[in-house]
Amino acid sequence: MNLDKVAHLIDQATLKAKPIQQKDFPDLSLQDAYTVQRKTINLRLERGEHITGFKLGFTSRAKMEQMGVHDLIWGFLTSGMQINPFSEVDLNKYIKPNAEPEIAFRVSQPITESIPLKDVPRYIDKMAVAIELIDTRYKKFTFSLEDLVADNCSSAGYCIGEWQDLQEDISDLPIALMANNKVLEQGCSSAILNNPLQPIIELSRLASKVGVKIAPGHIILAGAATKHIPLLKNNEITTQIDKIGAVSFRTK
């Protein structure tokens, strides 16, 4: 089976909210997996979506342990994934939706090469609290690193709170993920590579290797600081981060 067919299978699983089995296609190398990922994004672009940014995965030990993998990964965000704050999310559009808390950053200058940590304020002007909705397109929520990358790192939606000016010291902020005002997961921003700004550096390195440009206005989700929680109907999901703010959406 060629990689175009693999991308088509994953894309159709996304559109129809019907999971596929990894056995439906052969083992992929990591390079193959990123090729499939980009092909699935291209199918979205052909339907009129546009790239709005990028996400990092496995930037915390909690997520690595939860998913049983140990490598940093990245994927794309598109306009079709955007969830407006306080809006309702129809869970019937997803297979096995989960939510995780994030810190989002807004790019102000093009990033075309690997940048050092000290230069982050030159390229990032805003930050915000965010929720990422993740959803596997596979029948079982277990997969290899390559399977996950091919599936665009399980990215399915994102909800971003009010933008505020970038703060350079955000490495020790309490984070809570709540359902109906009940805290289900809590952690600290230091769990994100010890410094939530570090994923920006990692993304600049990884993207520049494959010639992907990070443009002004693009969003970067730095990765979760806690384990994810399953999404259930008729809940209000909230992420709250000390000194940054809170954002919520409802499920139906």
- Rounded Cα gap, residues 19 and 130, in angstroms: 26
pTM (global) more than 0.85: yes
Q: Which fold has domain 3-251?
A: Fumarylacetoacetate hydrolase; domain 2 (3.90.850)
Residues 196 and 165: their CA atoms lie apart, in Å, by 15
Q: What is the DSSP string of the chain?
A: --HHHHHHHHHHHHHHT--B-GGGS----HHHHHHHHHHHHHHHHHTT--EEEEEEE--SHHHHHHHT--S-EEEEEEGGGEE-TT-EE-GGG-SS-EEEEEEEEEE-S-B-S---GGGHHHHEEEEEEEEEEE--SBSSS---HHHHHHTGGGEEEEEE---EE--S--TT-EEEEEETTEEEEEEEGGGTTTSTTHHHHHHHHHHHHTT--B-TT-EEE---SS--EE--TT-EEEEEETTTEEEEEEE-
Alpha carbon distance 213, 141 (integer Å): 31
Residue 101 to residues 5, 40, 120, 222, 237, Cα–Cα distance (Å): 33, 25, 22, 10, 10
| pLDDT tens digit at each of 252 positions of the chain | 689 999 999 999 999 999 988 766 778 888 999 999 999 999 999 999 999 999 998 776 666 666 666 668 999 999 999 999 999 999 999 999 999 999 999 999 999 999 999 999 999 999 999 999 999 998 876 667 888 899 999 999 999 999 999 998 898 999 999 999 999 999 999 989 899 999 999 999 999 989 899 999 999 999 988 999 999 999 999 999 999 999 999 999
